[in-house]
Each structure stands twice: as C-alpha cells, then as structure tokens.
Structure 1
Amino acid sequence: MKIAILGGGCVGLTTALAVQEEFRNHHLDVLAENFEQTTSHVAAGIFRVSPTFSGPTDSITRKWISDSYHYYEAICRSREASEAGVTSISGYIFANTSPESVKNDLMEKLVPIYRPVTDDEIELVGGNWKYGSFLSTLLTQPNQYLPWARNKLTASGAVLKKYSVKSLKELAKDYDLVINCTGLGSQSICQDRKLVPIKGQVIKVRAPWLKTFFYGEINTYIIPNGNGTATLGGIRDFECSDLTVCPYQAAAIRDRCERLVPSLKTAQLIEHKTGLRPHREGGVRVEAERIKDGLCSALVIHNYGHGGYGICTAPGTSKYAVELARDAHRSSAKL
C-alpha cells in the first residue's frame, strides 16, 4: 500500500510514526512544504490542554488526551527521552477571575499531581493572586522531538519530500491512503472555512535558574525549556495571519512575565518568535472521506485543526486517524 502523510509538523510526523507501527509492507512518503519552519517549532511544548479543547464527542476528546499523555510518558521513561526531548515538569497556574479558572477537568485525573496551592505557595510569585493550582505534567521540546521523529521515520524506510499540495485529488493516482495533517493549509486544500488562524508570539530568554513553569490567567506563561532557556508568552490574535513580531506586544509579554516572576528582569533575550495556531470552529477534524480523480481514487483521513494544542494532542488524534484508516482498509479488503 502506498501512503502519503501531508504535513511536517508535530501532527504530521507523529501520524507518520503511528502509520509505520500499524501498517506493514507499505511505502510511506511524508510530504511538506517545509520541515524546519512549522508552527510546532514555535510552541513551548508543555502538556496542558485547555478545558475547552474538543473533538467530536466528550469520550473521544478524553481518549485523545489520555492517549497523548501516555505516549509522551512512555517516551519520558525510555532510553530515548533525552534525544526526543521529553521530560517531566511541575509548576503553577494562578488567577484572580474565579476558582474555576485554575481547574481543569481534562487534566486533573490524568497527570500525577493536580492540587490547590497552599497559602505559602501563592506568595512565590509577584502579584496579588486569589486562586492557584499546582500540577506535575510533561514537557516536549519541539527542536528535539521533531528531528527525533524524522530520524525514526527515515531509519524505518519513510521518504521525506518537500512538496506543495494544491489539491488532494492530485494525490489519488499515486497513493492508496492519504492522511491530511496540513493544519492551516487545509483552508485552501479542503476549502475548510471553519479554520481560523490565531497568531501567537513568544520570547525566548536565557534563564537557567528556572525549573518550574508559571501561568498567570493563562495568557501570561513562563515555561522553562530544560536547556537553560525559557519561553515567555503570550498572545492570541484571532484571525490574524501577520507573522511580523509586534514590539508593543513583545514589551507587554515581557512586562507581564517579569511582574509574575521578578527574577526574569535579568534574563538575557535570545529571540522573538511568532506562529499561527490552526484553530477550527467546532473542534479538531479527524474523519475519513474518499477522493477521486478520473478512474483513480484514494482514502483520505483528515487530522487537523488542533489550535494551540497540536503537540499536546498529536499522539491521540494520530492514533485515532490511523485506526480509521485501518478499519477502512480492512473493510475494502473484504469486498
């Protein structure tokens, strides 16, 4: 069977790994416009899923999140953890809006620790916070995980190709199965008007003393990267596709983060980064369809629209996408 994965970010590469594990005697191509500059490269990589993250049903959503966490947890416990860039991390979420804003039903029963902060802990940071939670979770470094995934794929026979897909139909003559993980690219490839770009902007700084992550009302976050650097964020500009670094937003991010953790005032600037989160109204799309081009046809499984939670949930949606492909392949084989 000839298989194509579209997309070179975390969702695409993780899906390709799942395909290699599920299907035998196949030829696998991973097609992407770029493997080095994707939205995944901008992400901080912490495993924290918003309570509003959604798939087609609540049970499927929870399974995606659970499968994803256990995927990264298995890597974290393996000999490949350092190469893949997966480590454990703990930290705090603070808020003033309401006690509900520091709770997370999708995370609380999944991670090892998720508890209210003590009175002493709420004094650890700057600001007069009313509510807080402490949790232990996982961190995946994109600049390590993505090369690790690419190396595993090519070592097992996959071919990575730089290729710009204009239409899914153009692939029908060359592939039996296509899994579409193009994120915002599906706006044009699938004419999906439910996809909306949400611009993100972060600052990378050198802060080797930081070992704990901090959130303040979610829009302010400080995430150590495990290599002496930290990611400071962030912004969420709805329907904004401009990747230019905004100096005013950069100044606001730095100010909010320094007020939350004052020691960051001495942190050395490394770089500013921007990216476009592929948000999809109605939730992530993981579903099957069949495409035809004349007499040629191929099965397509869509796996896109993860918003800002692509790294968090890629393993779960990838597993689900491959299960859809497997079931469809078995059904066609019986005909």
Structure 2
Amino acid sequence: MWCDVIVVGGGVIGLATATTLAERGLRVRIWSRDAVTRTTSAVAGALWWPYRIEPAAEVGAWALASLHEYAELAVDPDRSGVRWTAGVHADTTLEHLGPWAGEVEGLRRLAPDEVPGPYRTGLAARLPLIDMPVHLAFLRDRFEAAGGVFEQRAVSGFEEAAAFAPVVVDCTGLAARALAPDPALRPVRGQLVLVENPGIDEWFTAADGTAGETTYFFPHSDRLVLGGTAEEDDERLDADPATAAAIVARCARVRPEIADARVLGHRVGLRPVRVGGVRIEVEPLPGGGRLVHHYGHGGAGVTVAWGCALRAADLALG
C-alpha cells in the first residue's frame, strides 16, 4: 500500500487534487469515507461562479484556472458532465465583482427589460454548468487512468494515512472541524429541489451572499435543479417540505412553468465555509511526514477546484 501521497476526501476538491498529483507522475491514493456520488460535492448546483468564498485576493486566480480546465472538459460534455450554458445572474452588477470578471468572455450588463422575473439589474453570461454525478464519476475514472487508486475508507486521524505515505492531503471539507481540528469551519446548509425540466435551457440565479434564501435553476437534459438556501450553522440533512415549496415558488416567479413541473426528488448538503477563507497550508506530522490542509471552499468548491488543486499539489511536492 505504500505510495507517495494519500489524499483524504473524495469530493471534487480531493479528486481534483489527487488527479493533479497523479498526472504529475506520483503514486497517489484517495481515501474517501463515501463513494464519489455520495459526497457533499454530488449535491452541488455546480455553476462556475465565485460565490461565498474567501480570501478575495486569491479567489480570482483560482477560479480562472478552473475555468480554463472546464473549458477543455466541455469539449466532451456527455463524458465529463461539463457543458457551456447561457444564463442570467440577476441582482448583480459588474462593479461588485472582482478583476476576474474582466477575463470572462461574453459577460455583459443587461438592460432592465432584459432581466427576467421581478429584477431590474443583471448580467448575462455563458458559463460552465456541471452535472455533478456525471462529473464526479468522470474525475474518478480520470484519476484511476493516471495510475491513482481510489479506496473507500474512513479515518479517525491523519496519522493513519501517514503510516503509508510521506505526504497526506486533507481534503475532508466540513469533517476537518474534528480531524484538523479547525473550529473556524462552519456548515452552511443548502437545500435543492429536482424537477422534470419543462423545456428550460438557460440557467438563472439571484443570490444575495448575505441572505439565507437564494433563487436559482440549472437545466440538465433530464431535470431542472432548483435552489436554494444558505442557512448558517444549520446541520439538518433532511429536506424540509416548507422550504422545498418556497424554493419552487421563488423559481416560478421567474419561469411560471416551473410551478407545474413534477418533483423528482430533494437534495441537502452542508457547505464547508471557513471563517478566514480557504485553508491551503502545510504542517508537519509525527515521524517526519507532511500534512497539506486543503479545505474550507464553502459554496464555490467546484468553481475554484482546479486552481486550488494546483496550489495544494505544489505544497505537497515541497
């Protein structure tokens, strides 16, 4: 079982980091408590867009590096789950975005009469939209094609992994509260509703980063993903019927046909938000090993996954 690196965590952050290392020629194993399609990442709405993530000074570069990767993967959307899709960010202006926005091709301000629903400001864009169950399975296959080994295995401490590799990468998300331990991590609950797609082919968002409620829908061929919530310090994993009804009602204010769409299911996930922002740093392990912490991506893990993976891989390599 000896290898160069063990990545603990099999969500999008762990998979991107492990794949980056394996494609650099290292012997890498992923230890994941859950199958990739059972991780928090599998619940993500997964539109590329920097949302609820810090530190602001780093986010732009991480997001743009990831955008470049998704552009390449979108060449084969059926296989990768990544597809260029047009849509509107309502209640958003260019002035409130970082310098990264200038690098997003086609991002433009809308006139008030172009913004759908009860909104007056907005931006139009064509962005990567990721079908997460498909994408996570694709990433596992890509990782294994590079020689990596995926093992479903829970850990109670990083010393377990350090017994088999000189470098351990902590991509455990919210679980790092206990494993690191890091009390700066806090859950932000997100609830989604899946409905039959009534023919919608563009995404829509209206998300206030300070509010507990958001409005968005993301189209896939067989379903429409409706959202959502951003409930701080709420760890309930069961879907709340009243919340689900409110989500459908908010989305139907923008596209009335959503009100009659057949409900297919509900999803709940806990975003791993960290006070102080994403943590990517090294600490020593007993016996001379090295632990790279890589967690705290909040609601933007998909958006920054590949940029952050490059940084974490550089630290893993010393």
Indicate whether the TM-score tops 0.5. yes
- Name the aligned partner's letter for residue 261 of structure 2: A
Q: Partners in 2 of 1:140 and 1:190 — Cα distance?
A: 30
Are 1:14 and 1:149, in contact at CA under 8 Å, matched by a contact in 2? yes
Are 2:280 and 2:312, in contact at CA under 8 Å, matched by a contact in 1? yes
Q: Deviations over 1:139-182 (max 9, x none)?
A: 11111111111112223322211111111122222111111100
Alignment of 1:32-51 (within 5 A): 32-35=32-35, 36-50=37-51
Q: 1:83 to 1:268 in 2, by over 3 A?
A: same
Q: Which residue of 1 aligns with 2:218?
A: 223
Q: Which residue of 2 aligns with 1:108?
A: 101
Q: Deviations over 1:184-229 (max 9, x none)?
A: 110111010000011110001111511111123441111112x231
Q: Partners in 1 of 2:162 and 2:141 — Cα distance?
A: 27
Please tell me whether residue 87 in structure 1 is matched to residue 76 in structure 2: no
Q: Partners in 2 of 1:253 and 1:102 — Cα distance?
A: 28
Point out the structure with max Rg over C-alpha.
1
Q: Which residue of 2 aligns with 1:117?
A: 110
How high is the TM-score relative to the length of structure 2? 0.92
Q: Which residue of 1 aligns with 2:228?
A: 234
1:260, distance to aligned residue in structure 2 (A): 1.7
Count of aligned residue pairs for this structure pair: 310
1:233, distance to aligned residue in structure 2 (A): 0.4
Q: Secondary structure at the match of 2:38?
A: coil
Instruction: Return 5+ residue gaps in structure 1 as ranges.
Output: 329-335
Q: Partners in 1 of 2:314 and 2:206 — Cα distance?
A: 38
1:27, distance to aligned residue in structure 2 (A): 2.6
- Name the aligned partner's letter for residue 216 of structure 2: Y
- Name the aligned partner's letter for residue 81 of structure 1: P
1:102, distance to aligned residue in structure 2 (A): 8.2
Q: 1:217 to 1:7 in 2, by over 3 A?
A: closer
How high is the TM-score relative to the length of structure 1? 0.88
Q: Which residue of 1 aligns with 2:21?
A: 19
- Name the aligned partner's letter for residue 187 of structure 2: P
Please tell me whether residue 299 in structure 1 is matched to residue 290 in structure 2: yes
Are 1:290 and 1:300, in contact at CA under 8 Å, matched by a contact in 2? yes
Q: Partners in 2 of 1:233 and 1:220 — Cα distance?
A: 6
Q: Partners in 2 of 1:3 and 1:158 — Cα distance?
A: 10
1:286, distance to aligned residue in structure 2 (A): 0.6
Tell me the percent identity. 29
Aligned-CA RMSD value: 1.8
Q: 1:107 to 1:86 in 2, by over 3 A?
A: same
Are 2:113 and 2:120, in contact at CA under 8 Å, matched by a contact in 1? no
Please tell me whether residue 150 in structure 1 is matched to residue 148 in structure 2: no
- Name the aligned partner's letter for residue 33 of structure 2: E
Q: Partners in 1 of 2:228 and 2:164 — Cα distance?
A: 42
Q: Which residue of 2 aligns with 1:170?
A: 160
